[in-house]
């Protein structure tokens, strides 16, 4: 087995395993080291496949001789009761790694599946759906990868790769215009985004030269007015109380982007089952 180094940080995988295995899997010791096994992973519900590299890396870390045979590709949408893959290798490695590997697969697939639903909701409008920084601690890079697999795009990764001036930044700076001016002085290469809560603040942000303007909790009519006022001079991003029930209507106002924290925050993991067959010892189900 080989691991995709572009996606997977081996040290990250070791940390994931250490959380579960600690100094050693005392239960798996009941299985002789020489016993080999085969595991089958099945989804119990419809899903978008995501996280294959991390799933493989868990078993590779425990036993490089493990082999994963995939039945579906990354990003594939599959129905309930679909066989996703088979894992062959030392029984101890399969038993020890199953929970960590399944946790990663079900979490990333859950994120990608949710992202796919949001991407479908705006299809054909020209509006892009973005995630936010509302991610599971320690899993931001993985979840943002899953968002893209699902068909949405990433907002800034952290506080270092994009400027977003929110209400408290503006208050601390003295004014919206002053906040934009100060941001330009030390981060010329970064786009400056400003959050506004009214059409008057929108006009000030446009005059100040903001690159992106976040329309916070604007009504649909206010969004349509904002699109006319901006007239393409800045990207407009809608946010606040937007979900699958109203996203299409928001996109149809003409905004360029919609940011949704729920893609990664309100996460429902996928129900997966992993069955391990041992030559001498029958079947084990997780």
Residues designated catalytic: 99, 134, 166, 195, 216
In sequence order, which residues have a C-beta less than 8 Å from that of residue 70 and are 6 or more positions away? 52, 84, 85
With contact defined as beta carbons under 8 Å apart, do 196 and 239 qualify?
no
Q: What angle do CA 89, 95, 97 make, to 5 degrees?
A: 85
In sequence order, which residues have a C-beta less than 8 Å from that of residue 114 and are 6 or more positions away? 150, 262, 263, 266, 267, 268
Q: And the tokens for 74?
A: 């990354």
With contact defined as beta carbons under 8 Å apart, do 139 and 107 qualify?
yes
Q: And the tokens for 90?
A: 């030392």
Nearest Cα to 265, choosing from 182, 179, 144? 144
Cα torsion for 202, 203, 208, 213, to the nearest 10°?
Answer: 30
Nearest Cα to 84, choosing from 99, 97, 69, 96? 69
Distance, first Cα to last Cα, the chain:
23
- Residue position matching structure tokens 């391990």: 276
Q: And the tokens for 233?
A: 């001079």
What is the C-alpha separation between 66 and 87, in angstroms, rounded? 7
Cα 13 to its chain centre, rounded Å, is: 17
Nearest Cα to 218, choosing from 195, 240, 235, 248? 240
């Amino acid at each position: 087995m080989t691991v995709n180094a572009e996606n997977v940080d081996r040290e990250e995988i070791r940390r994931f395993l250490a959380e579960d295995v600690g100094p050693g899997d005392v239960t798996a010791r009941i299985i002789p080291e020489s016993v080999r096994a085969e595991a089958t992973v099945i989804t119990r519900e419809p899903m978008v496949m995501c996280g294959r590299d991390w799933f493989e890396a868990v078993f590779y870390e425990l036993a490089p001789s493990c082999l994963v045979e995939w039945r579906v590709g990354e990003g594939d949408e599959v129905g309930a009761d679909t066989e996703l893959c088979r894992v062959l290798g030392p029984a101890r490695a399969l038993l020890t790694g199953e929970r960590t590997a399944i946790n990663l697969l079900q979490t990333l697939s859950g994120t990608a599946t949710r992202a796919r639903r949001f991407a479908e909701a705006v299809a054909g409008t020209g509006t892009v759906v973005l995630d936010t920084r509302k991610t599971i601690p320690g899993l931001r890079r993985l979840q943002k990868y899953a968002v893209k697999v699902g068909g949405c795009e990433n907002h800034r990764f952290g506080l270092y790769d994009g400027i977003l001036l929110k209400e408290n930044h503006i208050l601390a700076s003295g004014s919206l215009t002053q906040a934009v001016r100060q941001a330009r002085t030390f981060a010329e290469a970064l786009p400056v985004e400003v959050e506004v809560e009214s059409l008057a603040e929108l006009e000030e942000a446009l005059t100040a030269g903001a690159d992106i303007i976040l329309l916070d909790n604007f009504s649909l009519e206010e969004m349509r007015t904002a699109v006319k006022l901006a007239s393409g001079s800045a990207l407009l991003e809608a946010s606040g109380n937007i979900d699958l029930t109203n996203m299409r209507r928001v996109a149809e106002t003409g905004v360029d982007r919609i940011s949704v924290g729920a893609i990664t925050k309100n996460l429902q993991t996928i129900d997966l089952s992993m069955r391990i067959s041992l030559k001498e010892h029958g079947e084990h189900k997780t």
